[in-house]
């Protein structure tokens, strides 16, 4: 093995072994918690997107001269991230 190859192998081992993987390559509790958090985040995002389909986004404004007003748009259009906006 060349010195560079040994160095790369050592670096990879250091990067993998630690917070998220044990020395035997098994996932640690920290990695399992991160994965569970990602799944929960995806669930929350899907729920939020489903609510947007049922409840339009509304706007409000207030001024001392004109008072307050609230309006909701019934127009739907997708923004750059593909989410539907009202």
Q: Contact at 8 Å (CB) between 29 and 37?
A: no
Distance CA 67, CA 8 (A): 67
Distances (CA, A) of 22 to 9, 11, 26, 67, 71: 16, 15, 5, 62, 55
Give tens-digit pLDDT for 27-67.
Answer: 889 889 989 999 999 999 999 888 888 777 788 899 999 89
Domain boundaries, the chain: 3-85
pLDDT at 8 over 70: no
* pTM, full prediction: 0.50
pLDDT above 70: percentage of residues in the chain = 66
- The continuous run of DSSP H or E covering 61 comes out as strand 58-63
What's the pLDDT score for residue 22? 87
84-85 and 67-72 beta bridge pairing: unpaired
């Amino acid at each position: 093995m060349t010195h560079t190859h040994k160095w790369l192998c050592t670096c990879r081992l250091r990067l993998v072994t630690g917070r998220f993987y044990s020395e035997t390559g098994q996932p640690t509790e920290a990695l399992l918690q991160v994965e569970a958090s990602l799944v929960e985040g995806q669930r929350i995002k899907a729920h939020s997107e489903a609510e947007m389909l049922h409840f339009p986004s509304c706007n409000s404004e207030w001024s001392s001269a004109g008072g307050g007003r609230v309006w909701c748009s019934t127009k739907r259009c997708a923004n750059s991230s593909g989410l539907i906006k009202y």
